[in-house]
Amino acid sequence: MREHVHDTRADIAPSSVVFESLTRRFLSSTMSHGILCPRCGASIDFHKAVEWHGPDHFSCTNCDQLLSKNLILRAINDLGLEHTKPRKIERFR
């Protein structure tokens, strides 16, 4: 017979805690300036208006080359950030 285990996930109100995605956290940091366009070599500034084309492609602000979000994920992996814990953000009302 299986012992009943209480699921503690239901004890946390969904509106009280929010986790910020690793990609969003990386793009808002100064480390994101290290992403270079593979076509022209220019640094891509995600703090300025980067034009997104769908959920996973964006264009270089210098040469308009269409780039994949995989470029960002590779930079996160190269920096070893994929193993960091997500930051907990408390919502205040």
Within a domain: residue 35? yes
Within a domain: residue 12? no
Checking phi first, is residue 27 left (phi over 0); if not, alpha (psi -120 to 50) or beta? Answer: alpha
Residue 24: partners with Cβ closer than 8 Å, 6 or more residues away: none
Tens-digit pLDDT profile for residues 20-31 = 777 777 777 777
Q: Residue 74 is which amino acid?
A: R
Within a domain: residue 22? yes
| Structural domains counted in the chain | 1
Q: How confident is the model at residue 16 (pLDDT cuts 50, 70, 90)?
A: low
**What pTM was estimated for this model as a whole?**
0.58
Domain range for 37: 17-90
Within a domain: residue 10? no
Tens-digit pLDDT profile for residues 38-83 = 999 999 888 787 898 988 999 998 999 999 999 888 888 877 766 5
Within a domain: residue 31? yes
Within a domain: residue 3? no
